[in-house]
Amino acid sequence: MSDRVRTAVMISGRGSNLDALIAASAEPGFPARIVQVLSNNPEAAGLARARAAGIEALAVDHRPFKQDREAHERVLDQALQAARVELVALAGYMRVLTPWFVGRWAGRMINIHPSLLPAFPGLHTHARVLQAGCTIHGCTVHWVTEGVDAGPILGQADVPVLADDTPDSLAARVLQAEHRLYPQCLAKAAEAVRLRRA
Ligand code: GRF
């Protein structure tokens, strides 16, 4: 479908959510088309998998930019513009974005976070959930705004916390839920972008 929303996925590592998004976008009628994968980490495993799926995949190492995060993001932004990207999906992109980049992609960028936001923003969510004695945990997809792990929620999925869970066993259960949730939410976001085109 030629009117599918041109989507970039930004990753830093493993890329299992990227895989789920690539698989979903291969379904007929899926409203987003993944046209580009960007990473700040040249070693990110997801880059090779994207290339194997025929998707342009670029690494822009953040390290040479030192403290100048915006300069790094300007290079990413140029790549996004060059690929005529309309929607950005952050999938395990482990760098906090500057207000400049967030503002530039406002209403056009989504993120997945491994907790039921607004509970447990930030890192190490699974260990913190266990520490707090929660019986329910899960994941959230949200539009990206300036606050870290804030922004309007597109969808959530919950999973039970079991008595013998470790952070790793809980992470694995949440990750399965992420792989179901993210494609649904990407579709929702792409429909929103498509409506705004008109
Ligand atoms: C996921 O748990 C995601 O929610 C978090 O980082 C992890 C990325 O995993 N933001 P992967 O790279 O998609 O496998």
Which protein residue's CA is at the shortest distance from atom 7 of ligand 1? Answer: 92
Ligand 1 near 15 CB (within 6 A): yes
Ligand 1 near 92 CB (within 6 A): yes
Q: Contact at 8 Å (CB) between 145 and 108?
A: no
Q: How far apart are CA 20 and CA 17, in angstroms?
A: 5
Which protein residue's CA is at the shortest distance from atom 5 of ligand 1? Answer: 92
pLDDT of residue 198: 76
pTM above 0.95, yes or no: yes
Q: How far apart are CA 41 and CA 54, in angstroms?
A: 20
pLDDT at 115 over 70: yes
pLDDT of residue 78: 98
Structure tokens at 74: 């300007």
Q: How far apart are CA 127 and CA 137, in angstroms?
A: 11
Question: What pLDDT digit, counting tens, does each position of 35-50 carry?
Answer: 999 999 999 999 999 9
For ligand 1, the distance from its centroid to the CA atom of residue 91, given in whole angstroms, is 6
pLDDT of residue 4: 97
pLDDT at 2 over 80: no
Beta bridge partners of 58: 38
Ranges assigned E (strand) in the chain:
5-11, 32-39, 56-59, 87-90, 109-113, 136-143, 153-160
Which residues are catalytic, by number?
A: 113
pLDDT at 141 over 70: yes
Question: What pLDDT digit, counting tens, does each position of 66-84 carry?
Answer: 999 999 999 999 999 999 9
Ligand 1 near 129 CB (within 6 A): no
Ligand 1 near 112 CB (within 6 A): yes
pLDDT of residue 127: 98
pLDDT at 1 over 50: no
Residue-averaged pLDDT of the chain: 97
